[in-house]
Amino acid sequence: MTVDEGEPFGVWLGRQLRRRGVSQAELAKELDVTRAAVSAWITGRAEPRLEKIELIERFLGLSSGASVTRAELSDSADSLGWYHRPAHRDGGRELGNAAAYAFDSDLAVLAREATQNSLDERFDPERPVRVRYVLHELTGERLHRFLKALHWDDLRDHLHAAADPLRKTGRILRNGLQDLAEKDSLVLLRIDDYNASGLTGPEYGDGRFAAVVRRQLDSHKSTTAGGSFGLGKATLWASSRFGLVMMHSTLSETYEGQRERRLIGRLDLPWHELGDQQYAGPAWLGVPDRERDGTSRSWWADERTVEELYLSRGSDEPGTSFLVVGAYDAATEGGDLETMHENLVRGVADNFWASMIAGRDSAPMLEATVESLRNTTTVRPEERVDPHRHQPSRSRAVRAFLNGETVERITDAEAVLQKTVPLTVPPLKGRREAFEHEAVLLVTPMADGEEERPNRLVCMRGTRMIVMDRAVGEVVGTPPFQAVLLAGLAVGESEENAAAEAFLRTAEPPDHNDWKQTDDLTATYARGAATRLREFRQAMITMARAAARPSEGPPDEVPEALRGLLDLDPPQPNPAPKHPTVKSLTGEVRPDGAWQIRAVVRLPEGVDPWIMRPALRFGTLSGGGLPAGWAELEPESGCEVVEGRLRFTPGARTAAFRGVSDVASHPVAANLAIAEVDLVRGESAP
C-alpha cells in the first residue's frame, strides 16, 4: 500500500467509514464519544487520542498502526453487487443509451473512438500511449467462473426483462442471451491503454471517472482535443450485446490515496419492469454507497477479483482497461473472432496510421496491438498494427518528414517530395497582424500493390487525425501518387504553428472533417478568414498536382488517331482458335530417360476430321525448338493414331492422347530441356 504522505488523518478516517458503510453516529456510539467529536476528527479540527485510535483500528478490522501508515481497507468481494437505478418517478422511460444510437456498433468505429480517447488521455507526452485490444472467447467452465465473478445472477432477470423483441436494442439483447444459453460461449473484448491518465477523480463530481462512468452524453473536455471521453465512449456500450462494460483503471494521480485497481462496471439497459418494480435501465457493479441510497460506487479490488473478471493489466503504468462483455460486430451481425480481429486492426490502422509513425529520433504518439484468444488457445497472436503495412505510401511520406529525409525532386519509387503550402492566418479579432503559416505538403509515388485510391491528399494537424481526404485527380504521364498535408503543430513545435493549429481547429466543424467557415471562426477571427481558408484549400491541390507532374518533354509525333492502330505489341492469344490446340500437357521423365506425356486437345468445330501431327520439341533459349520423335503414341479419347498422326473423331470437341518419346532422337538428355508439344499440319516428321 502506498503511503500518501501528508494526508490528514481525518480525510483517511472519513474514507474508511464510507467504505465500511459506517456512519459517523455509529462510530461515535461504538467509541462512546459524541457525534460532534467524530465530526471534528474527520474535518481535521481535532485528533483523537492514541487509545481511541487503537479502538478505531480494531473496529475497522485493521492492524495496529494502520492509521499511522494510512493503510487502506481492501474492499471485500462479498459486498459487491449490482445497483439498478429505479425508474423516474415521473414515469419517463429511456429506451437505452441515447449516445449509443449515434454510432454504428461497428468494431472499426469502436477502434476509432476508443483509440482516440486513449490518445487524448496520453499521460507522458514524450512516450507513446500503448493500446492493446484483446478478443477473448470464453466457453464452458471458464465462462461460468467469469459469470459468477460478474454477479450474473443479479443481472439475468433484468436482461431478460429488458429484452423487448419489438425494439432493436431488445432484439440484440435477446439474441445475445440466446447465444449465451445455446452456444455456451461469450466474447470479451478488452481495450487496455497504458501511459494514459486513467479514470481519475471522484465518484460523482467532475473528473474523468465520472465523465465515463456516470454521464453518458458528457464530453469531459481536456485542453488538447475535443471529444475526450465524449460521445465516443458510447461505442463501448454499443459494442456489447448486453450494454455491459467493466472498467479497471490505474490512476495517474491518486484518489482516496490509491492508484491501482479501481474497478467498476456499468450496464446500459433500456427501461424495464421486473416484478412490480420499474427500472430506468442503467446499473452499476460496485460496492454499495450508503451515503447515496446504496448506489454502487467503484471499489479498490484485490488481485484475485481482477483476475476473475479478466481485467488484469500488464503493468502498473497508468491507464484504463475496458472490458466489453458480449462483444459483437454489428457490421457482420456477430462475426467470428478472425473477422472481428481484422476489423479492429483495420479500424486502428485506417484512422491512426499517422499517429503510429515513428521518426528515427522520435517515438510514435501511439502503439497498438490486437490479439485473439479462445479460452487458453491463441487464435491470432498479438499483432502490432503496422502503419507501413496498411498505408505504405502515406506512412513513408510522414516518416521521411519526421526523419528529414524528404527530397526536392522525386527520383525514386520511395522518395518523398516536400513542398510548402502557404496559409495566411488572419489575426484574432481586435489584433492587427496576420502571419503566414508554412504548411508542409508531402508527395510520394504510390507503393506497388497498394489498395488505396490513387492521387489523394490527406490533411492533418497536430493530432495527426485525418481531417480531409481529397482527390487531387490524375496527372497525365505521372505514376499514381499519394500526398499528405501537415499543418499547424504537425509541422513542428513553435508559437506560430500553435497559432495556426488553433485557427484550423476553429475552422473544423464538430465532426472534425473539414476546414471551412464555422460560427466559431466568424466569432473569433477577423474578416477574411473564410477567404484565407479557400485559398489554402486551393493552393494545396494545385501544389500537389504541380509536384507530381513530370518535366515537360517535346510533343509526340504520332497523331492520336493513329496511335492505337499501329501497335506492334503482341496480340492477346485467342482462347478459342479455329484450329486444334493442346490445352493441357502433363508428364514426366521416366527412369529410362524418355518423356512420358499426356495431352488434352481442344478441337474447333469442323466438318472434315482434323488430322494433325503431334510435334515434340525440346525448347531452346533462342530460336525454335529442336525436334524429337515418339517411340509410342497412344490415343486416349476422341482420336486415333494413324501413321504417327492423330486423326480426331469428327464432331469431337476435345481429345486426349499419350506419348513416350524416343530417347535416341533426343537432341539432349530429357531432364536438361523443356519439352514442348504442339499440333502441326503437314506431313509426318522429317
Partner 1 sequence: MKRLFPYAVLAGEVGLEVLRARLDDVPIEFSMISAAQRTVALHEVERERWGTATLTVRVRLPKRELADGPWTNVACAAIVSERRTNVRAHVPLEQDEPGVWLGEVTLHRERHVNKAELIAQVSATVDEIDSRLIGRSEASWTIDLLATTPTKKDGIRTEWVDFGGEGAVHLDLFRSDPWFVEAVGEEPTLYLNKRFEGIEAILRSDRAVDRPAQNALASQIAQEVWTVLFTSVIRGLPKDDQGRPEWPGGWQESTLRKMLPDVLPDYSLTDALAEIVAREDGAGGDLHARVAHAAAVQARRTRHLGNFLRAFRRKAQEEEQ
Partner 2 sequence: MISPPENLMSLSNEAATRHLTEAVLQGRVPIPAKGLDRSVRIHPSMEPRSIDPIRELIDEARKRFDDAPTEADAWLAPRLHSVLRFTRAEAADSGLWNHLALRVAPDHVFWRHLGKATQKKPVPMVSRSRFIGPFHTQAFARLWWAAELFRDGYDYDPVVVACGNQDVLNTALRMSIVLHRPTAQALLRLVKDGTAGAGREANALAKAVNAVASTLSLETLAPDAEPDTDAYRFWVGGREDSLILFDSLPDGPDDGRAPLDSVNRLEGVFRRICTEVPAVTKSG
List of residues contacting partner 1 (CB under 8 A): 409-415, 445, 448, 477-480, 548-551, 553-554, 557-571, 574, 577-589, 595, 597, 599, 604, 619, 623-624, 670-682, 686
Question: How many Cβ atoms are within 10 Å of 311's Cβ, its own excluded?
Answer: 23
**Angle in degrees, 0-180, between the axes of helices 337-352 and 107-120, rounded to the nearest 10:** 50
Residue 409 contact partner, candidates partner 2, partner 1, none, CB within 5 to 8 A by sort of partner: partner 1
Q: CA-CA distance, 304 to 306, in Å (whole number)?
A: 5
- Give 193's strand partners: 131
In whole angstroms, the minimum distance from the beta carbon of 550 to partner 1 comes to 3
Residue 275 or 554 with smaller CB distance to partner 1: 554
Among 555, 559, 623, 686, binds partner 2 (CB under 8 A): 623
Residue 567 contact partner, candidates partner 1, partner 2, none, CB within 5 to 8 A by sort of partner: partner 1
Q: CA-CA distance, 497 to 503, in Å (whole number)?
A: 10
Q: CA-CA distance, 359 to 369, in Å (whole number)?
A: 19
Q: Which of residues 624-663 bind partner 2 (CB under 8 A)?
A: 625-626
Residue 686 found at the interface with partner 2 (CB under 8 A):
no
Q: CA-CA distance, 25 to 36, in Å (whole number)?
A: 9
Among 618, 630, 648, 657, binds partner 2 (CB under 8 A): 618
Residue 491 or 679 with smaller CB distance to partner 1: 679
In whole angstroms, the minimum distance from the beta carbon of 448 to partner 1 comes to 6
In sequence order, which residues have a C-beta less than 8 Å from that of residue 275 and are 6 or more positions away? none
Among 309, 666, 677, 679, binds partner 2 (CB under 8 A): 666
In whole angstroms, the minimum distance from the beta carbon of 661 to partner 2 comes to 14
Residue 85 or 617 with smaller CB distance to partner 1: 617
Residue 274 contact partner, candidates partner 2, partner 1, none, CB within 5 to 8 A by sort of partner: none
Residue 189 or 673 with smaller CB distance to partner 2: 673
Look-up: residue for cell 497582424?
Answer: 433
Residue 553 contact partner, candidates partner 2, partner 1, none, CB within 5 to 8 A by sort of partner: partner 1
Residue 471 contact partner, candidates partner 1, partner 2, none, CB within 5 to 8 A by sort of partner: none
Do the beta carbons of residue 280 and residue 86 sit within 8 Å? yes
Element (H, E) at 242: strand 240-250
Residue 664 contact partner, candidates partner 2, partner 1, none, CB within 5 to 8 A by sort of partner: partner 2
| DSSP-derived secondary structure letter, 427 | P
Residue 350 or 662 with smaller CB distance to partner 2: 662
Q: CA-CA distance, 658 to 680, in Å (whole number)?
A: 16
Q: Which of residues 555-614 bind partner 2 (CB under 8 A)?
A: none
Select from 272, 262, 282, 298 the least CA-distant residue to 216: 282
In whole angstroms, the minimum distance from the beta carbon of 443 to partner 1 comes to 10
Do the beta carbons of residue 128 and residue 195 sit within 8 Å? yes
Among 538, 674, 680, 682, binds partner 2 (CB under 8 A): 674
In whole angstroms, the minimum distance from the beta carbon of 444 to partner 2 comes to 33
CA 114 to chain centre: 9
Residue 68 or 669 with smaller CB distance to partner 2: 669
Q: CA-CA distance, 269 to 280, in Å (whole number)?
A: 8
In whole angstroms, the minimum distance from the beta carbon of 415 to partner 2 comes to 27
Residue 261 or 666 with smaller CB distance to partner 2: 666
> φ and ψ at 583, to 5 degrees?
-95, -35
Residue 568 or 664 with smaller CB distance to partner 2: 664
The CA dihedral of 388, 392, 397, 399, to the nearest 10 degrees, is 10
Residue 21 or 625 with smaller CB distance to partner 2: 625
Order the strands of the 630-637 sheet from edge to edge: 581-589, 595-602, 654-661, 630-637
State how far the alpha carbon of 429 is from the alpha carbons of 437, 509, 514, 524, in Å: 18, 20, 22, 6
Residue 269 or 673 with smaller CB distance to partner 2: 673
For residue 493, give the amino acid letter: E
Select from 511, 515, 514, 488 the least CA-distant residue to 501: 488
Among 577, 669, 681, 682, binds partner 2 (CB under 8 A): 669
In whole angstroms, the minimum distance from the beta carbon of 650 to partner 1 comes to 15
Residue 430 or 564 with smaller CB distance to partner 1: 564
State how far the alpha carbon of 8 is from the alpha carbons of 47, 74, 256, 546, in Å: 10, 20, 12, 68
Among 89, 376, 664, 683, binds partner 2 (CB under 8 A): 664
Cell of 263: 474497478
Residue 587 contact partner, candidates partner 2, partner 1, none, CB within 5 to 8 A by sort of partner: partner 1
Residue 466 or 582 with smaller CB distance to partner 1: 582
In whole angstroms, the minimum distance from the beta carbon of 616 to partner 2 comes to 13
In sequence order, which residues have a C-beta less than 8 Å from that of residue 392 and are 6 or more positions away? 447, 450
Q: CA-CA distance, 632 to 86, in Å (whole number)?
A: 92
Write out 432-458 in H/E/C secondary structure: CCCEEEEEEEEEEECCCCCCCCCCEEE
**Number of residues engaging partner 2 in binding (CB under 8 A):** 16
Residue 412 contact partner, candidates partner 1, partner 2, none, CB within 5 to 8 A by sort of partner: partner 1
Terminal C-alpha separation, the chain = 99
Do the beta carbons of residue 160 and residue 397 sit within 8 Å? no
Question: How many Cβ atoms are within 10 Å of 554's Cβ, its own excluded?
Answer: 5
Residue 620 found at the interface with partner 2 (CB under 8 A):
yes
In whole angstroms, the minimum distance from the beta carbon of 450 to partner 1 comes to 11
In whole angstroms, the minimum distance from the beta carbon of 583 to partner 2 comes to 22
Q: Which stretch binds partner 2 (CB under 8 A): 76-84, 132-140, 439-447, 616-624?
A: 616-624
- In total, the chain counts a number of residues equal to 686
Among 383, 600, 667, 685, binds partner 2 (CB under 8 A): 667
Q: Which stretch binds partner 2 (CB under 8 A): 138-146, 439-447, 645-653, 666-674?
A: 666-674
Do the beta carbons of residue 616 and residue 628 sit within 8 Å? yes
Residue 493 contact partner, candidates partner 2, partner 1, none, CB within 5 to 8 A by sort of partner: none
Which residues in this chain contact partner 2 in the complex, by CB under 8 A?
A: 618-623, 625-626, 664, 666-669, 672-674
